[in-house]
Amino acid sequence: MFKFKPLKKKFLQRDILCLALFKILLVVGLSFYLKSFSKPHMTFEKISKHLVSSLKQERKLG
């Protein structure tokens, strides 16, 4: 009994840490998804501007 209890405590603490990390990652992922979903045109404009500027730089170099 004495040898089993500390192992069980460590196992439970590790599980709690894993669950906490998973929840944090889930919340962060959801927040990023919602931000991109609420303003899709903003992110799309930024991406398109970046692509256009990179293409122009390539043409200047080439």
pTM of the predicted structure, to 2 decimals: 0.40
Please list, in sequence order, all residues whose beta carbon lies within 8 angstroms of the beta carbon of residue 43, skipping any fewer than 6 positions away: 36
Question: How close are the terminal C-alpha atoms of the chain, in Å?
Answer: 74
User: Any idea where the domains of the chain sit in the sequence?
Assistant: 4-61
pLDDT value of position 1: 47
d(CA 39, CA 33): 10
Q: Are the CB atoms for 44 and 36 separated by under 8 Å? A: no
Structure letter (DSSP) for residue 3: T
pLDDT value of position 13: 77
Q: Give the pLDDT of the chain (62 residues) as one tens digit per residue.
A: 455 565 566 667 788 888 888 988 888 888 777 776 666 565 667 777 877 888 787 777 65
d(CA 48, CA 62): 21
